[in-house]
């Protein structure tokens, strides 16, 4: 009989993997200016690679979810860590924009699909008892937030100390060394896929015919748009407005630190209140915060306040969205179904980071993208409210 692994071990290992994967992604905006200056690229070329990364991540997430549901999360996580390490190592050596797109865009996008929420949260949802599921998802997200926070000063220190290329190489080594953390996240029974009454095809068809599934997907697009734009362009935005590089680093660190508390709180609140309402409120808070930030005079204080409030709502949408999917459709194919929902998130991420570069190169301003980010947040709040969050009732054949 396979030895039981404690829920805390599962949550900690999953949270660290999320923290490393999302942390490296979170600091990529710090590499924009030194890398484009060294290679002679425009911001749009760097933004295109990050945009493709978001798009590939989203399109590959249903596939990695299917693989995790069929063969177990451990194998997918191991492959994802190896791909991530390879993508970072090749990104450090990229001499042309095409090489940057293939390494930082394609490979890291695939790696993110295999190392982040869809796979890790799916495994946790199956391995942790239902009564502790909200706690487990929130705690894993909070641990991941600590990892994101730690990587911000680490990235800045490495870039300043050994250069951006060596910093990427160090991160590649770290991701490769994270492989053992995947071992406790084995969610198969006795090494074989669990036999279930509902097939994967039936589960996907059931979800695609559910109106709330599409509303959740469309609403999640706003989250991806807002987060990818801010993570990819906020440090450069602050530099353009006369702030030091340290201010941008501090802002990203504040986002990551506040995200620890926000993600854990959202996970806990998801067990007390209706998740669809919490999601609607989160998007309203984000839009109001961005509107206040762009309207009020930009000072160091407003930058840090903005970063703190955005951090509180940063990844809190993920355990709530994942929990809502499992609440309606169950956990049997949670990685697959969340993967389909995540496509909307990453389509938004592609648009957010790409539009940031394209609009800036065309207008020398981010104002239009800020307005778009505010607008999609308001739309997302409206889309979440009418979602039918009751568990689906399946009629079993006699």
Q: Is residue 154 part of a domain?
A: yes
For the cut 80, the answer to whether the pLDDT of residue 191 exceeds it is: no
| Structure confidence at residue 193 as a pLDDT band (50, 70, 90) | very low
Question: Average pLDDT of the chain?
Answer: 88
State the CATH number of the domain containing residue 253.
1.20.1250.20
As a three-state string, the secondary structure of 79-122 is: HHHHHHHHHHHHHHHCCCHHHHHHHHHHHHHHHHHHHCHHHHHH
Cβ atoms of 311 and 258 closer than 8 Å: yes
The residue that leads in pLDDT, 316 or 195, is 316
Which residues form the domain of 12?
A: 7-186+200-384
For the cut 50, the answer to whether the pLDDT of residue 4 exceeds it is: yes
Q: Is residue 254 part of a domain?
A: yes
Q: Is residue 121 part of a domain?
A: yes
For the cut 90, the answer to whether the pLDDT of residue 302 exceeds it is: yes
The pLDDT of residue 196 is: 54
For the cut 80, the answer to whether the pLDDT of residue 188 exceeds it is: no
d(CA 348, CA 282): 17
Neighbours of 393 (CB within 10 A): 5
Q: Is residue 1 part of a domain?
A: no
d(CA 244, CA 138): 34
Q: Is residue 170 part of a domain?
A: yes
For the cut 70, the answer to whether the pLDDT of residue 2 exceeds it is: no
The pLDDT of residue 252 is: 83
The pLDDT of residue 1 is: 35
d(CA 104, CA 32): 12
pLDDT tens for each residue of 131-158: 888 788 888 988 888 888 888 889 989 9
pLDDT tens for each residue of 22-52: 889 878 878 888 888 888 887 778 888 888 8
For the cut 50, the answer to whether the pLDDT of residue 195 exceeds it is: no
d(CA 305, CA 289): 9
Handedness of CA 174, 175, 179, 180 (dihedral sign): positive
Q: Is residue 145 part of a domain?
A: yes
d(CA 36, CA 398): 64
State how many domains the chain has: 1
**The overall pTM is greater than 0.75:** yes
Q: Is residue 281 part of a domain?
A: yes
Q: Is residue 389 part of a domain?
A: no
For the cut 80, the answer to whether the pLDDT of residue 57 exceeds it is: yes
Q: Is 244 helix (H, G, I), strand (E, B) or coil?
A: coil
């Amino acid at each position: 009989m396979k030895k039981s692994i404690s829920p805390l071990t599962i949550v900690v290992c999953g949270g660290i993997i999320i923290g490393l994967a999302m942390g490296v992604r979170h600091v990529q905006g710090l590499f924009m200016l030194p890398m484009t200056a060294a290679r002679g690229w425009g911001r749009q070329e760097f933004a295109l690679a990050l945009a493709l990364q978001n798009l590939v991540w989203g399109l590959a997430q249903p596939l990695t979810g299917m693989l995790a549901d069929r063969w177990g999360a451990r194998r997918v996580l191991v492959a994802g860590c190896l791909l991530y390490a390879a993508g970072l190592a090749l990104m450090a050596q990229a001499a042309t924009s095409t090489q940057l797109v293939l390494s930082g865009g394609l490979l890291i996008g695939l790696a993110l699909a295999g190392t982040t929420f869809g796979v890790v949260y799916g495994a946790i949802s199956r391995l942790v008892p239902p009564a502790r599921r909200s706690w487990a998802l929130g705690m894993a997200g909070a641990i991941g937030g600590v990892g994101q926070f730690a990587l911000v000063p680490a990235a800045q220190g490495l870039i300043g100390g050994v250069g951006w290329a060596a910093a990427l190489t160090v991160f590649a080594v770290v991701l490769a060394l994270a492989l053992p953390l995947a071992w406790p996240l084995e969610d198969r029974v006795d090494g074989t896929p669990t036999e279930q009454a509902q097939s994967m095809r039936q589960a996907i068809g059931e979800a695609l015919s559910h109106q709330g599934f599409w509303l959740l997907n469309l609403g999640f697009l706003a989250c991806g748009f807002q987060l990818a734009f801010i993570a990819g362009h906020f440090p450069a935005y602050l530099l353009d407005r006369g702030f030091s590089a340290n201010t941008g680093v501090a802002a990203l660190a504040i986002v990551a630190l506040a995200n620890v508390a926000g993600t854990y709180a959202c996970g806990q609140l998801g067990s007390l209140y209706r998740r669809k309402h919490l999601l609607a409120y989160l998007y309203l808070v984000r839009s109001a915060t961005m509107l206040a930030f762009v309207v009020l005079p930009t000072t160091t204080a407003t930058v840090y306040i903005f970063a703190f409030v955005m951090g509180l709502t940063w990844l809190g949408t993920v355990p709530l969205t994942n929990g809502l999917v499992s609440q309606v459709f169950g956990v049997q194919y949670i990685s697959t179904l969340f993967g389909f929902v995540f496509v909307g998130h990453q389509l938004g991420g592609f648009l957010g980071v790409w539009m940031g570069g394209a609009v800036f190169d065309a207008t020398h301003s981010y104002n239009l993208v800020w307005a778009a980010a505010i607008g999609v947040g308001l739309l997302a709040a409206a889309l979440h409210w009418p979602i039918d969050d009751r568990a689906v009732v399946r009629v079993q054949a006699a």
